[in-house]
Structure 1
Amino acid sequence: LGSNTGTTVAGSSGSAGSSRAQLRYPSGIFVSPNQDMYILDTNNYRILKWQLGEPIGYVVAGGNGNGGAFKQIGQSFGMFVDQNYDIYISERGNHRVSKWFNGNTTAGVLVAGGNGAGNTDDKLNLPWGIYVEVNGTMFIVDRGNHRVQKWEAGASLGATVAGSTSDPGPWSYQLYDPTAITFDPYGYMYILDETNNRVQKWYPGASYGITVASGSMNLPVGMTFDRLGNLVVADSSYHRMISFNIMCPPTTTTTTAPPMLITTPLCSTASWNQTMSIIAGSTSSAGSTSTLLYYPFHIDYDGYANLYVVDHQNHRIQRFQPGSQTGTTVAGSTGSLGSSRSE
């Protein structure tokens, strides 16, 4: 399908920092249809909007240091960009979710939690991944409480829809340090259950999950579906990206007008082949070359099926063309910390 190497197209090689050309331990990414990247720059406490091919990004949320004021964001590992390009940030350090409206880079507003760490319905404890429906209802991975909270727009309380509060474990009704969440077109919820090294599928209203991918993983952090419905996981501690192929009738796509349009991403009775394939990185081989990764955290695809990987420990974003295991650095700088506008 393609090559296994990449090229630097944005940022600078060999350093990382807090400039707008650098990143410092990035952990999340969203790629828009026109290939604009929204990057959660975790240890710079900001989100950068970075146009593909540009040498620097622009701060669209945070950037005022670590703190609890609403012009700031705390240490964060989860982000969701909605259809209006409003940004929801799951602030682990502040035990809250804040929303930054498109065009307002001054301050966010509180939309969930914010009452300190705890396990009651008005609180979150080290929240991580987040998914937001079109109506503003949030599904928050409440990692420290080993559960997922459903939080409607404007509500002061959440409700547990997966996991057992403060009760981690391997049983089907439990989660253990979950990190990521997504949904398929049929309303089924998928949770990346990190310490259990599995992906759990929860039907609406269910009291337990069904394992759809497990084994062959070592503390995975991020996941998504590709355009065909294959389940792609950032297998962080093995420093690789892996794919579990979907098993259902093939989907139909068209490329008559970019970006690629998807007619049916998944079938309602989908299952996934438990024999995974490595699509980027190399098992247990951390590194900063174009074919290696170092604790990849999160992933997204653009409309042309290019894979974007948040290469956390290398302080960069790597882009892989379809079929290629060679990445191109499209944001950040390989292997060093930074805090300038280009880091």
Structure 2
Amino acid sequence: VLRSSHIDIGATWSPNGTTVAGDSEQGNRLNQLNSPQGICVDNEDQVVYIADWCNHRIMKWKFDLTNGEIVAGGNGAGNRMDQLNNPLDVIIDKETDNLIICDSGNQRVVQWPCRNASRGQTIISNIDCRGLAMDDNRFLYVSNYNKSEVQRWRIGDSQGTVVAGGNGKGIHLNQLNGPQYVFVDQDHSVYISDMNNYRVMKWLQGAQEGIIVAGGQGKGNTLSQLSSPYGVIVDPLGTVYVADCGNHQILIVLKPTEQTPLSALYCAALIKESGDKLECGGERVDNKDYFIKTTIFSDVKDDMQITREESDLDKTIDAAEKGFQYDSPWLDVPVRTAHRAVFTHAGQVCFAASRICVHSTLHDAFVSKSVELAKKRIVGDPFDLTTEQGP
């Protein structure tokens, strides 16, 4: 199962995998694993920790070594503090140098020192835990399979807080059904592999319902479907990586752009074409004081009408004395500068909400050069280093 606490922004995906732990046969020797589940990578110490499910132990594997080391459990299945029972996940708390383990068969979360420890300590009891994550404030996030919810805990507290689900099993956006692994990003948004709903959910901090970021179209093997999603991690660009166990694959879900140079041009063309010819303005958008921005979804007519009406408002600009002024022959410089500023976050997270204000005498020439420059941008595979904008 795919698990990690962080993916470096410069990391690249390799289509060919390399074995880093275990061999070709399952077993209980130090060079073997038996149904490994959660994985935690410690880049600082160059080791990987593995929840060795059927061997009831946590293995520590240094990079490039043939044999691993038992660091927790390994004394048979049981509920003593020197035992584990089908551990499903493991993470590392670097501040205390402790492993935190989802001891699923014992329905508890235990804490175990990383080095030279013979027993652990229970920190959460009576919880059907399946996945763990920790944010930068050291809050612990635990998926509770039985209750179809994710809880946030401060280690040492006797009660957790529900941050996702908690409304019974179901398919609605405020529900989960069999949550497995969890991931928390830098904004404290929680990503959950909602296994029995065949989807991955994103729950913004404080939200009452989640957002489907992968799957949600029933069980299947198309690119819009999942089958038994387990591990989930997210990189700094918002790319979601899902261990789609039922389909025996890793699915990569790219975060879509809100605006790119080309999509901005196409959107502008659609708005221009709408004019007064379309019957627009549904009741749900009559009061536009509440709208900060509009996005074209299924009801294109309403969105275009709002955009057109708002564009009729008079705008005034107080030009600063220190503002740069260019004559027409020198327009290449401000056009390139404007594109760098507006589209500086090129790629999956491009957000170009800025407006470029141009004097009326230069407007047509500026737009022409801007369109020409936008069409030259290299759009394509975001994993290709030559790509300027994608996907």
TM-score w.r.t. the length of structure 1 is: 0.68
Question: Which residue is equivalent to 2:177?
Answer: 218
2:216 to 262, 276, 282: 282
Q: SS in structure 2 opposite 1:303? A: coil
Question: Among residues 225, 243, 252, which one is paired with 1:319 in the alignment?
Answer: 252
Mapping of residues 12-91 of structure 1, within 5 Å: 27-30=1-4, 32-33=7-8, 52=13, 54-84=14-44, 85-91=46-52
**Alpha-carbon distance in 1 for matches of 2:138, 2:146:** 25
Q: How many Å apart are 1:35 and its aligned residue?
A: 6.3
Report the Cα distance in structure 2 between the residues aligned to 1:227 and 1:34, rounded to whole angstroms: 13
Secondary structure of 1:58's counterpart equals coil
> For the structure 1 residues 61 and 208, does the alpha-carbon distance in structure 2 shift closer, same or farther, using more than 3 Å as the test?
same
Structure-2 separation of matches of 1:78 and 1:238: 20
* Structure having the higher Rg: 2
State the 1:29 CA deviation: 3.7
- In structure 2, relative to structure 1, the CA distance for the partners of 1:319 and 1:35 (3 Å cut) is farther
Aligned twin of 1:24:
none
Corresponding residue for 1:207?
158
Percentage identity across paired residues of the two chains: 30
Q: Contact conserved, 1:64 with 1:71, CA < 8 A, in 2?
A: no
Amino acid at match of 2:250: I
RMSD value, Cα: 1.9
- Matched with 2:207 is 273
Letter in 2 for 1:33: D
**What is the distance in 2 between the residues matched to 1:77 and 1:111?**
16
Contact 1:29 1:310 in 2 (8 A): no
1: CA distance, partners of 2:234 / 2:120: 30
Return the offset for 1:103: 2.3
2:60 equivalent in structure 1:
99
Q: Which residue in the other structure is 2:231 paired with?
A: 298
Q: Show the counterpart of 2:196.
A: 237
Gap runs ≥5 in structure 1:
1-26, 37-50, 164-173, 247-271, 331-343
The AA in structure 2 aligned to 1:234 is: S
Paired with 1:113 and 1:86, the residues of 2 have a C-alpha distance of 18
Q: In the alignment, is the contact (CA less than 8 A) between 2:60 and 2:70 conserved in 1? A: yes
CA deviation map 1:307-330 (0-9, x unaligned) = 111111010011111138xxx9x9
2:181–2:193 Cα contact (<8 Å) kept: yes
Give the 3 Å change call, closer, same or farther, for CA 203–32 of structure 1 in structure 2: closer
After superposition, the C-alpha distances for 1:121-177 in whole angstroms (9 at most, x for unaligned) are: 0000000111112254100000000001100122101000001xxxxxxxxxx312x
Q: CA deviation at 1:92?
A: 0.8
Once the two structures are superposed, residues 211-260 of structure 1 have per-residue CA deviations (whole angstroms, 9 ceiling, x without a partner) of: 222231110111112342211111011001111111xxxxxxxxxxxxxx
Gaps of 5+ in 2: 168-174, 258-380, 384-391
Question: If each structure's strand is expressed as a fraction of its own residues, which one has the higher value?
Answer: 1
Q: Is the 8 A contact 2:231 2:243 kept in 1?
A: yes
| Amino acid of the structure 2 residue aligned with 1:141 | C
Specify the code of the residue in structure 2 equivalent to 1:205: G
Find the residue that maps to 1:182 and give its secondary structure. strand
Contact conserved, 1:279 with 1:323, CA < 8 A, in 2?
A: no
Equivalent residue number for residue 108 of structure 2: 147
Of 119, 139, 148, which residue of structure 2 is paired with 1:157?
A: 119
Task: Report the 3-state secondary structure (helix = DSSP H, G, I; strand = E; otherwise coil) of the residue aligned with 1:279.
Answer: strand
C-alpha separation between the residues in 2 aligned to 1:278 and 1:222? 15
- Specify which of 155, 175, 181 is matched with residue 127 of structure 2: 175
CA distances 1:74-119 after superposition (whole Å, capped 9, x unpaired): 1121110012331001111000001001221x11001000000000
Kept in 2: contact 1:35–1:302 (CA 8 A): no
Q: 3-state SS of the aligned residue for 2:224?
A: coil
Q: Which residue number corresponds to residue 188 of structure 1?
A: 139
Q: Which has the higher helix share?
A: 2
Runs of 4+ displaced beyond 6 Å: none
The alpha carbon displacement at 1:34 in A equals: 5.7
* Separation of aligned partners in 2, 1:293 and 1:227: 26
Q: How far apart are the structure 1 equivalents of 2:186 and 2:134?
A: 14
| Residues 34, 58 of structure 1: alpha-carbon distance in 2 compared, 3 angstrom cutoff | farther
The residue type paired with residue 127 of structure 1 is P
Over 3 Å counting, the alpha-carbon distance change for 1:29 and 1:205 in structure 2 is closer
Contact 1:148 1:162 in 2 (8 A): yes
Letter aligned with residue 111 of structure 1 = V
Q: Give the alignment's TM-score, normalised by structure 2.
A: 0.60
